[in-house]
Amino acid sequence: MVLQKKTLAEPFKMFLRNIEGYLTNKIENPSLTHEKYLSLSFPNQTTKISTINLGEINDDGVYSNINEIRQVFVQQELLNYQKILTKYFLNDDDLSKKLSLKDIKEMSNMLLDGLTCYPFNKLFTQAFDEMWNKKTQMFEKLNRQGEFRKTGLTKGSLRFRPPGDIEEVTQLLLAKTYNVLESKFSSTLEKYESLALFHLNFEFIHPFAEGNGRLGRFLTMFLSLSFNLIPPTFGSELLDNIDGETYYYQINKVLSPKMKAEDWNLIKKPPASFLHYYLSAVKTTIAYGRKWEETNPTSDWSDFYFMNLNHEEKNFLVKQINVVLQESSKGVV
């Protein structure tokens, strides 16, 4: 079942701005506190990149004002995330929009706005710095903001898919996901499985030079809400106990063996352990909804998610909550 027109309820919009936005950004910035997130995301004023004092560069190539530079970088990341939340979720846009590759590239471009220029491309987004082009025998910027990457990509011990057919395989992944989500024959659990699989494969492809983690989580949330499915919250129910390490561990556990074997075929089915983790993340979102319900006893529980659901739509929401709670409580062999 798909809502013809989906309007997110105000409590859920506040959850996205103040809670989910913090949790997803803390995964990449472990030292980020909730207080710091709020102050940087909704500041009285922002620091212009052109006014940053870079300081001296020592013999190891380290800027003496690296902490100031990093804070401006993180603030720009957070401001970008608020902009993309506002555009796609907070302005009451129709969530029934079917995503295209153009949309995904636009989202990537928004998340990286102001982050691929100097000095950030020397410190944090080096994939956008000039690289040696063997063909032209010149230093060039091979990767462009908002475009699929043109170079290989390694993060720690993970080496991601070679860039040759990234556009085609990303389109294939999107089509496969929509096939399941749009089918009237797909069960609720199968739809959640397809979203878990989408998230895994998007991280496996890593289609852009930077920003794939936030974008992958954002796309998974968009696809979920488009089909009236509760999105995952990849973080603890407690704001001071974020499971960023668990998030990376669960993904790397699946991707690492494929990468070492240079098996670049898309993952066909989410492993039981990752599906359990994914459903537990959805359960976290449900837990926030229940906390809201406890503090708003006169409101209908469904008012946390969408506005003006009819009886049939509420029943669908109840059914999927029951499926998530049941499946996430099962032990993983």
> What are 97-127's pLDDT values in tens digits?
899 999 999 999 999 999 998 889 888 899 9
- Residue 301, domain member (yes or no): yes
**How many domains would you assign to the chain?**
1
- Residue 5, domain member (yes or no): no
pLDDT at 161 over 80: yes
- Residue 277, domain member (yes or no): yes
Residue 109 token pair: 């471009």
pTM above 0.85, yes or no: yes
Please list, in sequence order, all residues whose beta carbon lies within 8 angstroms of the beta carbon of residue 243, skipping any fewer than 6 positions away: 234, 235, 236
User: Quick one: pLDDT at residue 96?
Assistant: 75
210 closest CA partner among 136, 141, 138, 112: 112
- Residue 185, domain member (yes or no): yes
Give Dmax over CA atoms of the chain in angstroms.
69
pLDDT at 55 over 80: no
pLDDT at 258 over 60: yes
- Residue 3, domain member (yes or no): no
- Residue 84, domain member (yes or no): yes
What integer best gives the mean pLDDT of the chain? Answer: 89
Q: Report the CATH number at residue 216.
A: 1.10.3290.10
Q: What's the average model confidence in pLDDT over 318-323?
A: 92
User: Angle CA(153)–CA(255)–CA(177) in degrees, nearest 5?
Assistant: 95
Residue 2: pLDDT band (50, 70, 90) is very low
- Residue 1, domain member (yes or no): no
- Residue 274, domain member (yes or no): yes
Residue 122 belongs to domain spanning: 10-328
